[in-house]
Chain A
Amino acid sequence: MKRCTTDELQAIVGRMPTTRDEDWKYTDLTRARDISSRWLTMGDGTPSSVLDEEIQRITESVEASWLVVANGEIRNLATVSGVTVDKLDEAPAGHHALAELNAALLKEGLRIVVEGTIDKPIGILVIDGTEDTSVSQAYIEVALANHSTASVIEYHASLGDADQYANTVVSLVVGDGATANHVRVQNRARNHVQTGRTDISVGKDANFRSAGFDLGGGLIRNDIVINISNAGADVSFDGLYLAGEGQHIDNHTRVDHRVGPAISKQEYRGILNGKCRCIWNGKAIVHEGADGTDADQANHNLLLSDKAEIDAKPELEIYTDDVKCSHGTTVGQLDETSLFYLRSRGLDREHATQILTHAFAAGIVARAPVEAAKEEITRLMEARLARMIQTDDNFSS
């Protein structure tokens, strides 16, 4: 790492996106830039004393073959038959500003190659915990060979009160006829910043199923870019974001249908309470000649407070005729009739609200393609919802 001088690194930090960039107009990375600049002058701090404990808790609570990236360093390389895991000394030169930052500051990257059918999920825990200001990078390549099958759990977590910025670049290649099941759990501390970009390339007749859960974090930006350049690809990805007071969660998705027939379906749901902001921007581009494309996107939001803000933006660009595309976006409050029904059965308003929000979110959990992760997701989701609702004093009554 630090193949550049500090001045060069400061210049790279300076090139991070700003709200003047169309794709970033709702998400201001000033905090990430400030943390990065400060950290460049200070260097790495002391690792958190409870980091090991938390790693143990997470890896024991979800049944998977775990690989751990802690404060940007690879902790262990699990040996799993059919899976080759390598440490990378560097990431490829990035083609966008955050990939450039990632490549410049990366300590160690991971490459995972899967052949055949792997039953036990591969877990990748990206965790940060320091006593001082910190910046960390994770670079992860996952490649599923043709006709292979694997489940991958990405788990992002952080600890501590100090300022922290984590930047992740993931590349996932799903070979021809392969099936990839993917779950991303983000449960960072609520004062921490994370940017993450995942590029997915889907092979001929390949299946990609994914669900992302943003259950924590202060300022979170996820970019998912899916490239379909082979016929017969079947892609579905869902997302759930829970945002309470002070949180900002931005999900940008982009699907490029370059060849048909192929299917892409996405459904994102969000629950917002208190002063917070979420963004869902779903772009689907059906390129010329991608006949037989079936692209569907949906985004549903539950706003429990009038201080919460959601920017929901579906973007469809279609350059061919033989396509089936649809999108739907809803923003609403809890249904008063349902609330009254539950209260008339003796449940207080808080409990009734928890039940209804839980039901709204549970649909996404139920469809998560990696069974082993569901219990942990449900636990985190329930705890977060309970807290979001309890600490709220702004219910529309």
Chain B
Amino acid sequence: MLEINNLKSRIGDTEILRGLSLSVNPGEVHAIMGPNGSGKSTLAQVVAGHQDYEVTGGSVTYKGQDLLELEPEERAREGIFLGFQYPVEIPGVNNAYLLKAALNAKRKHAGLDEIDAFEFLKTAREKMATLDMDPKFLNRGVNEGFSGGEKKRNEILQMAMLEPELAILDETDSGLDIDALKAVANGVNSLRNPDRAIVLVTHYQRLLDYIEPDFVHVLSEGQIIKSGDKSLALELEEKGYDWVREAASA
């Protein structure tokens, strides 16, 4: 589904990704772990198409097409979803409006009619219930005045509504208390299915107690230096990132 090959990217003059390769197949859950500054968020932003990150080498193929050729909105309509580390507050734009506009953009791309208003509300309310979100959030400005936990739940709500084929969740666990973490994990787990791939970008192992990954990758200085199964995350938690870096350079 997603083939990243020797990807190099920089922001301004700073090279961040230095030859990153990763292969993600439908149904898989990958965790990308690494210390601050290792390039985790850059990877997420490049896949979503943020213009500030210049791709200087390598390739990204998604469902057989050159992903780097697509505009951010085209990537979204093709089924890619990025859960933001810092969801953006957009005062004056109602949450329900954005959800509906996003859904309809995707439906139009797929040749479907706009979603029925009743159907939309019913689905949104159901998804909100699984995330333990008050339905009144639908009528509030997008992330406007939301707490950190509310913003992250809202990201998961968007993901649940858009039903992406490839979801990349950037530090979705950061700043969450245990209840919010469980609610978010519950939302993510309910979306796991054989057709959908999920990439979790995280600094800590904590999230992986609730969402069990099939693969764990360690990112350091813009490259994946070690890959393994979920036991790698536990080992990292115990021994720290220096241990992998030393092992990798040895």
Counting chain B CB atoms within 10 Å of each CB, the highest count among A335, A343, A358 belongs to A343
From the candidates A338, A344, A348, A351, name the one contacting B90 in the complex (CB within 8 A). A338
Contact A363 B92 (CB under 8 A): yes
- Over the window 59-79 of chain B, the binary record of Cβ atoms lying under 8 Å from chain A Cβ atoms (1 yes, 0 no) is 000000000000111011100
Contacts of B162 in A (CB 8 A): 345-346
From the candidates B76, B92, B97, B101, name the one contacting A344 in the complex (CB within 8 A). B76
Residue of B nearest to A366 (CB): B92
Contacts of A358 in B (CB 8 A): 92-93
Contact B105 A344 (CB under 8 A): no
Contact B90 A347 (CB under 8 A): no
Q: Say if the beta carbon of B36 comes within 8 Å of chain A.
A: no
> In the bound complex, how far is the Cα of B81 from the Cα of A348, in angstroms?
15
Residues of A311-368 contacting chain B, CB below 8 A:
335-338, 340-349, 351-352, 355-356, 358-360, 362-363
Contacts of A335 in B (CB 8 A): 88
> In the bound complex, how far is the Cα of B171 from the Cα of A138, in angstroms?
62
Contact B76 A341 (CB under 8 A): no
Contact A346 B77 (CB under 8 A): yes
- Over the window 73-109 of chain B, the binary record of Cβ atoms lying under 8 Å from chain A Cβ atoms (1 yes, 0 no) is 1011100011010011011110001100110011001
Contacts of B109 in A (CB 8 A): 346
Known: A346-B73, A346-B106. A341 touches B88 (CB 8 A): yes
From the candidates B49, B71, B72, B92, name the one contacting A359 in the complex (CB within 8 A). B92
- Over the window 211-235 of chain B, the binary record of Cβ atoms lying under 8 Å from chain A Cβ atoms (1 yes, 0 no) is 0000000000000000000000000
- Over the window 39-54 of chain B, the binary record of Cβ atoms lying under 8 Å from chain A Cβ atoms (1 yes, 0 no) is 0000000001111000
* Closest Cβ–Cβ distance, residue A131 to chain B (whole Å): 42
Per DSSP, chain A at the interface is helix
> In the bound complex, how far is the Cα of B89 from the Cα of A359, in angstroms?
12
Contact A347 B105 (CB under 8 A): yes
Contacts of B71 in A (CB 8 A): 343, 348-349
Known: A346-B76, A348-B73, A349-B73. A341 touches B105 (CB 8 A): no
Contact B102 A347 (CB under 8 A): yes
Q: Say if the beta carbon of B158 comes within 8 Å of chain A.
A: yes
Residues of B151-197 contacting chain A, CB below 8 A:
158, 162
Contact B92 A341 (CB under 8 A): no
Contacts of B87 in A (CB 8 A): 341
> In the bound complex, how far is the Cα of B93 from the Cα of A360, in angstroms?
9
Contacts of A362 in B (CB 8 A): 92
Contact A345 B50 (CB under 8 A): no
Contact A345 B76 (CB under 8 A): yes
Contact A344 B49 (CB under 8 A): yes
> In the bound complex, how far is the Cα of B97 from the Cα of A58, in angstroms?
28
Contacts of A359 in B (CB 8 A): 90-93, 141
> In the bound complex, how far is the Cα of B109 from the Cα of A348, in angstroms?
12
> In the bound complex, how far is the Cα of B205 from the Cα of A294, in angstroms?
54
From the candidates B51, B90, B97, B102, name the one contacting A346 in the complex (CB within 8 A). B102
> In the bound complex, how far is the Cα of B82 from the Cα of A337, in angstroms?
14
* Closest Cβ–Cβ distance, residue B80 to chain A (whole Å): 8
> In the bound complex, how far is the Cα of B102 from the Cα of A360, in angstroms?
20
Contact A345 B158 (CB under 8 A): yes
> In the bound complex, how far is the Cα of B77 from the Cα of A362, in angstroms?
28
> In the bound complex, how far is the Cα of B49 from the Cα of A138, in angstroms?
55
Contact A341 B84 (CB under 8 A): yes
Residue of B nearest to A345 (CB): B102
* Closest Cβ–Cβ distance, residue A251 to chain B (whole Å): 22
* Closest Cβ–Cβ distance, residue B73 to chain A (whole Å): 5
Residues of B92-128 contacting chain A, CB below 8 A:
92-93, 97-98, 101-102, 105-106, 109
Contacts of A341 in B (CB 8 A): 84, 87-88, 90
From the candidates B73, B75, B88, name the one contacting A338 in the complex (CB within 8 A). B88
> In the bound complex, how far is the Cα of B93 from the Cα of A363, in angstroms?
10
Residues of A10-32 contacting chain B, CB below 8 A:
none
Contacts of A337 in B (CB 8 A): 88
Which 9 pairs, one residue from A and one from B, show the smallest C-beta to C-beta distance? A359-B92, A346-B76, A346-B105, A345-B102, A341-B88, A343-B72, A343-B73, A359-B93, A346-B77
Beyond known contacts A345-B162, A349-B73: 12 more, CB 8 A cutoff: A341-B87, A341-B90, A344-B72, A344-B75, A344-B81, A345-B102, A345-B105, A346-B76, A347-B105, A348-B71, A352-B73, A355-B93
A-B contact pairs, 18 of them (CB 8 A): A338-B90, A341-B88, A342-B98, A343-B49, A344-B76, A344-B81, A345-B73, A345-B162, A346-B73, A347-B101, A348-B105, A349-B73, A355-B97, A355-B98, A355-B101, A356-B93, A358-B92, A363-B92
